[in-house]
Structure 1
């Protein structure tokens, strides 16, 4: 998945290998990210010029942001360097996070100007989970399936329409959504079983948490959700 209109060259909303630079002997390298990747020097300048986009909280960039920056700041940026900086920015996990949230695209003044396309939202979410899975021993696939199912439901499209909009294989999407439905049914059944045990057990929430190995502050929300599940099943 790409967002080539941001930079007019490199795909900006898609993962890619970081750009490698050769260091000259005797020179120190640029400032390093925690992961050891160099931060493009223009990104700090962009954060100063447009903190609403590149500051503490990233926001999805309006398509065509590269050209907007060149026009807003004539003579300030070298085109190739700006494209490189925007590409690095848009491939970062922090930027993927704002896409995965489904935030609207914003212009240089920090104003929302357009909704995020389904394919950009979907693929950013998948890539973000892929990166998180590489750092986690926990299986994050159920959580990913649940999030994709949420996007599918929110889109208002049928499966074929969503597959086309998200630019994914229809069969793979159908299999994922079927698994997500199964996951959801299993979780609803688990909550119902715990609610019944709570109703029949005569225990306080603290005692119930201790008996079933639950976090004490998780019991009340879990029971409330189980009661909501019942109301939904009853058609209320």
Structure 2
């Protein structure tokens, strides 16, 4: 016995993805070129925060100090409702621009834009991953090399050993963990080369300029490499 499928009704045809796509394309063709897209509505509490603190909620975002929610409630008890402020700060903290500020490793700031404390390494790490996920979703290019480079910078800036860093940032995301392992491996290899150059330089008894000329290297690059090797004498285990 063969199942028979009834012909679609007019309403069903109208609702098919192909038909909806054609209607959308037709509307776009009719719209005047250069017409602005509908403006996205801004949260009114965020608008008010921008008016009060343009250095923190304006054109440039900075990481907020921990406890800023309580600071705002204390300073403006009649200005904001608790739940409305919580929603607004959540929107702000989840925005890509804010995550980029956290990922940059800049310090946390108070409402007067004064730096007060460093961002924890795990917060920097997870912000880097989230920004990467959002960019990768919009790009056909493989952005893993860029992610790996950002993670290497974050690892070095944290000052933590491999064991301690892994302890605070490890997650159940296998892809993220794999890129982190790649970052540690590349960082270990790079630091090993730096250390080898430092030892060769110190054993040579030559000046930076003489050493660079002897090996056909740029003196400025040799100087930077030596400074990096001396700043971090212990090389992370690439294994």
Distance 2:95 2:113 in 1: 19
Corresponding residue number in structure 2 for 1:126: 129
Q: 1:176 aligns with which of 176, 179, 186?
A: 179
SS of 2:164's partner is helix
SS of 1:113's partner is strand
Residue 160 in structure 1 maps to residue 156 in structure 2: no
Could you say which structure has the higher helix fraction?
2
The offset of 1:60, in angstroms, is 0.8
> For the structure 1 residues 117 and 131, does the alpha-carbon distance in structure 2 shift closer, same or farther, using more than 3 Å as the test?
same
1:202-230 alpha-carbon deviations (Å, 9 max, x no partner): xxxxxxxxxxxxxxxxxxxxx98898379
> For the structure 1 residues 184 and 35, does the alpha-carbon distance in structure 2 shift closer, same or farther, using more than 3 Å as the test?
farther
Corresponding residue number in structure 1 for 2:77: 74
CA RMSD of aligned residues (A): 3.5
- Normalised TM-score (structure 2): 0.59
> For the structure 1 residues 225 and 125, does the alpha-carbon distance in structure 2 shift closer, same or farther, using more than 3 Å as the test?
farther
Residue 109 in structure 1 maps to residue 102 in structure 2: no
> For the structure 1 residues 75 and 228, does the alpha-carbon distance in structure 2 shift closer, same or farther, using more than 3 Å as the test?
same
Corresponding residue number in structure 1 for 2:221: 228
> For the structure 1 residues 95 and 122, does the alpha-carbon distance in structure 2 shift closer, same or farther, using more than 3 Å as the test?
same
Distance 1:46 1:115 in 2: 23
SS of 2:141's partner is coil
The offset of 1:163, in angstroms, is 1.2
Corresponding residue number in structure 2 for 1:47: 50
Distance 1:183 1:139 in 2: 20
Question: Tell me, which stretches of 5 or more residues in structure 2 are unaligned?
Answer: 1-36, 191-215, 231-239
The offset of 1:123, in angstroms, is 0.2
Corresponding residue number in structure 2 for 1:15: none
How many matched pairs?
166
Is the contact made by 1:159 and 1:174 (CA closer than 8 Å) also made in structure 2? no
Distance 1:150 1:35 in 2: 39
Is the contact made by 1:53 and 1:110 (CA closer than 8 Å) also made in structure 2? yes
Distance 2:138 2:42 in 1: 21
Corresponding residue number in structure 2 for 1:198: none
Corresponding residue number in structure 2 for 1:90: 93
- Normalised TM-score (structure 1): 0.60
